[in-house]
Amino acid sequence: MTSTLRTIAVCLLAFGATTAFGQATLTVTDTSTQTISRFIYGHFAEDLGRCIYDGFWVDDSMKVPRKDRIRLDVVEALKRIKVPDLRWPGGCFADQYHWSDGIGPRAQRPTRVNTTWGMIPDDNSFGTHEFLELCGLIGCEPYIAGNVGSGTPQEMENWLEYLNYGGKSTLSAQRAANGHPAPYKVSLWGVGNESWGCGGSMTPEFYTDQFKRYGEFCKDYPGTHLKKIASGPNSDDYHWTEVCMQRIPAWDMYALSMHYYTVVGDWDHKGSATRFGEDEYFTGMRKCMFMDTLVRKHSAIMDKYDPAKRVALAVDEWGIWTDAEPGTNPAFLYQQNSLRDALIAATTLNIFNNHCDRVRMANLAQAINVLQALILTKGARMVLTPTYYVFELYKVHQDARWIPISLNSPDYTYNGQSIPAVNASASRDQQGRVHISLVNLDPNKEVTVSANIQALHVRSMSQEVLTSAHFTDINTLDEPNKIRPLASTAEPLSGDSLSVTLPPASIVVVELRP
């Protein structure tokens, strides 16, 4: 396989009851040198609801495999999808968290009130060492968000010395006394979180001064280069991005964060996670696709000040946010997870893949029992959600070479509004295999994909599909395998032709082997 220009012309024919849905083309140009960073596939674990406590960190009497109180069946599930990094302790909680509360003998740690999420007591039994042990077990990098809202530069400086200094000092000796003589070498570091809101209700002008003030005391200790991530805009606040890029030097900022949630209703009535019709389904898909507009517009602003793209756009909170499940604490943000959510995840990851020149970090909110979770638990039982399986299918894109695509898709039309029915992204891994991830958002019609693959010299192919009978379908503790990837029978290769059928409301990942 050479790196010469390759084009796959794909004809998409969708069929309704009796009428052809139309035709479109997908063009793939295999000349890119861009890499899809594995950190696009990151996750988020806030001290919120049942994510940490009763999620990752369980009572020592619970009869599940554990390391200390870390739940190992959860760890193994996250290892399988190659989680690259985990963000902690927040979220909004980060700007009320004081790291020294969570070190030392657990019986001596203070109990604080989590004023952000439910006014509940927090015994701080899960702190710095426990989080870094969790990351070590998963095999991922820690991404820590420091406290700018209620903390001080001194507090942040001390935390970093405690984490990363390997020489002789009071703080490094304290770390050793607490069980870890070697420095942790934490690199990914958030300087605050949502500073425009729960992190301090700041203006961008004030925040950029705070970033430079706090950042001055965030040191590179020997063996660890700190990657400082600035608290960026809320959704379409393009002014915030403009000010940050104007006032913070590119050399001082590894990434600028951006947060966007798919909210089907409004913030007071977000909609149900399980009881919705095609009207809300369509709205969810349309709002999910707004991520592409956000990335394009924020990237354009960043390009003005950083044409070399030194600063990454880190979408470190994203996903669908619905009303909490009935009967649960609304402050815990526990929601079920349907096929709709999987389609949102797959579409969003396709967007990130296709903007991998600027989007080099992202973190789904959140890993367990909160918002668009990968895993739901109840006591000793756990279930993997449809969203989990999207990350399992898409892990083939991690650190693979991005292949640009151009898609002219047929429309999915509902109630006079239209969005593209199909979205896609593609990459080539280090073994030369091409993976094309295709999403059909139309819940009523299948799409047949036909391709001329002569230039790829394909010897064989396989495909997996994730779908279900209805977009409200979910996995439950009693029916955990309702939605999971299945190897599907592909049309046999016929000369240089490829044919793939996308069922209604489905995700299909095709592997083409040279």
Q: Indicate if 363 and 500 belong to the same structural domain.
A: no
Query: Which structure tokens are listed for 281?
Result: 């389904």
Residue 134 has pLDDT above 50, yes or no: yes
460: domain CATH number?
A: 2.60.40.1180
pLDDT-derived band at 9, boundaries 50, 70, 90? very low
What pTM did the predictor assign?
Answer: 0.94
Q: Residue 269's closest CA among 327, 320, 324?
A: 324
Q: Indicate if 24 and 56 belong to the same structural domain.
A: no
pLDDT at residue 457, as a whole number: 74
- 331-335: long-range contacts (C-beta < 8 A, 24 or more apart)? 331/49, 331/117, 331/118, 331/119, 332/48, 332/49, 332/50, 332/117, 332/118, 332/369, 332/370, 333/48, 333/49, 333/117, 333/370, 333/371, 334/49, 334/50, 334/369, 334/370, 335/273, 335/371, 335/372, 335/373
pLDDT at residue 499, as a whole number: 74
Q: Indicate if 233 and 205 belong to the same structural domain.
A: yes
Contacts of 447 (CB under 8 A, 6+ apart): 12, 13, 14, 21, 410, 421, 422, 440, 501, 502
Nearest-5° Cα angle at 84, 83 to 89: 85
Query: Do the domain assignments include residue 408?
Result: no
Q: Indicate if 27 and 124 belong to the same structural domain.
A: no
Query: Do the domain assignments include residue 200?
Result: yes
Query: Do the domain assignments include residue 265?
Result: yes
Q: Indicate if 306 and 452 belong to the same structural domain.
A: no
Task: Give CA torsion, residues 127, 133, 134, 139, to 10 deg.
Answer: 150
Count the neighbouring beta carbons within 10 Å of the beta carbon of residue 452. 15
| Tally of domains within the chain | 2
Range of the domain at 235: 38-399
pLDDT by residue (tens digit) across 167-213?
A: 999 999 999 999 999 999 999 999 999 999 999 999 999 999 999 99
Q: Indicate if 493 and 345 belong to the same structural domain.
A: no
Query: Do the domain assignments include residue 441?
Result: yes
Q: Mark which of 358, 384, 399 sits at the end of a domain.
A: 399
Q: Indicate if 28 and 68 belong to the same structural domain.
A: no
pLDDT at residue 30, as a whole number: 74
Residue 18 has pLDDT above 50, yes or no: no
pLDDT by residue (tens digit) across 409-454?
A: 889 999 999 999 999 999 999 999 999 999 999 999 988 877 766 6
Residue 12 has pLDDT above 50, yes or no: no
Residue 408 has pLDDT above 70, yes or no: yes
Query: Do the domain assignments include residue 300?
Result: yes
pLDDT at residue 13, as a whole number: 34
pLDDT by residue (tens digit) across 328-362?
A: 999 999 999 999 999 999 999 999 999 999 999 99
pLDDT-derived band at 456, boundaries 50, 70, 90? low
90: domain CATH number?
A: 3.20.20.80
Residues catalogued as catalytic: 194, 317
Phi-psi region of 198 (alpha: psi -120 to 50; beta: other; left: phi over 0): alpha
pLDDT by residue (tens digit) across 226-272?
A: 999 999 999 999 999 999 999 999 999 999 999 999 999 999 999 99
Residue 3 has pLDDT above 60, yes or no: no
**247 contacts 205 by C-beta, under 8 angstroms:** yes
Query: Range with the lowest mean pLDDT among 280-284, 311-315, 489-493?
Result: 489-493
pLDDT by residue (tens digit) across 33-59?
A: 899 999 999 999 999 999 999 999 999
**23 contacts 12 by C-beta, under 8 angstroms:** yes
pLDDT at residue 17, as a whole number: 35
Strands 375-378 and 381-384: antiparallel
H runs (alpha helix) in 378-476: 386-394
Q: Indicate if 191 and 340 belong to the same structural domain.
A: yes
**164 contacts 185 by C-beta, under 8 angstroms:** yes
Phi-psi region of 399 (alpha: psi -120 to 50; beta: other; left: phi over 0): left
% of the chain surpassing 90 pLDDT: 85
CB-neighbour burial class of residue 128 (10 A; exposed 0-12, middle 13-18, buried 19+) = buried
Query: Do the domain assignments include residue 114?
Result: yes
% of the chain surpassing 70 pLDDT: 92
Q: Residue 352's closest CA among 79, 38, 82, 78?
A: 38
Q: Residue 74's closest CA among 384, 482, 476?
A: 384
Q: Indicate if 314 and 263 belong to the same structural domain.
A: yes
Please provide the average confidence, as pLDDT, over all residues in the chain: 92
pLDDT at residue 501, as a whole number: 85
- 61-69: long-range contacts (C-beta < 8 A, 24 or more apart)? 62/379, 62/380, 63/380, 64/380, 67/133, 67/137, 68/130, 68/133, 69/125, 69/126, 69/130
Looking from the CA of 318 toward its CB, the CA atoms found within 13 Å total 33
Residue 10 has pLDDT above 60, yes or no: no
Query: Do the domain assignments include residue 292?
Result: yes
Query: Do the domain assignments include residue 86?
Result: yes
pLDDT at residue 492, as a whole number: 63
Q: Indicate if 70 and 163 belong to the same structural domain.
A: yes
Q: Indicate if 394 and 457 belong to the same structural domain.
A: no
Residue 203 has phi, psi (to 5 degrees) of -85, 160
